[in-house]
Amino acid sequence: MAELGRRDFFNFLGSSAALKAPMVRPPYASDAMRFGALCPTCNDKKCQSACEEQIIRLSDKGMPYLDFAQNGCTYCEACLKVCDLKVLDDASVIIRAHVLIDTQKCMSHHGVICFSCKEPCMEDAIRFNGLYKPVIESEKCTACGFCLSRCPSGAIVVTA
């Protein structure tokens, strides 16, 4: 068995093989099956260029997904308005994902005062139990993703 060197180890940790984040589709898609069938056939990909926050990316199969690494979704409806195939068709449909806090990675859960996730939350969906221990209130959370890009320890996790 070959020994894994330090550089190989860190390259693996940074690769998609180590931790594959789920592909979260843009908001406003009322029919997941229709989205999956029609989006790859779109030639224009206007949703990607229309996105004000520049978080819509394309998979290698041409499927739009949200990348929260730098920003979150403001629900501006720009992608909804430019979708020629009308796959994004319902302004009341928010991002279909769940946002959780990994307590093993969260600095606040380990006694460090940090409010990085709470500050950008427009829905006030993150509350703290005391000075530490943030909790995401799922009934308030819109899965906009702003907290993900602000967390310095990568403790916020999105599940589809």
Domain boundary among 71, 94, 117: 94
The angle subtended at Cα 74 by Cα 68 and Cα 77, nearest 5°, is: 115
Could you tell me the CA-to-CA distances from 31 to 25, 37, 110, 145 in Å, in that order? 11, 10, 41, 21
Clarify whether residues 86 and 102 are in a common domain. Answer: no
Q: What angle do CA 5, 157, 110 make, to 5 degrees?
A: 80
In this structure, are 26 and 84 located in the same domain?
Answer: yes
Regarding whether 107 and 78 lie in a shared domain, the answer is no
Is there a domain that residue 113 lies in?
Answer: yes
From 41, 70, 94, the end of a domain falls on: 94
Instruction: State the total domains in the chain.
Output: 2
Q: What is the mean pLDDT of residues 141-152?
A: 95
> What tens digit of pLDDT does each residue of 70-128 get?
999 999 999 999 999 999 999 999 999 999 999 999 999 999 999 999 999 999 999 99
pTM here?
Answer: 0.82
Convert the pLDDT of each residue in 71-87 to its tens digit.
Answer: 999 999 999 999 999 99
10 falls within a domain = no
25 & 73 share domain? yes
Q: What is the pLDDT of residue 17?
A: 38
Q: What is the per-residue pLDDT for 2?
A: 46
Residues 119 and 103 in one domain: yes
Domain end position, chosen among 41, 60, 94: 94
Report the DSSP beta bridge partners of residue 156. Answer: 101
CATH number at residue 62: 3.30.70
Structural domain boundaries, residue 44:
21-94
Query: Within a domain: residue 108?
Result: yes
Q: What is the CATH number of the domain that holds 123?
A: 3.30.70.20
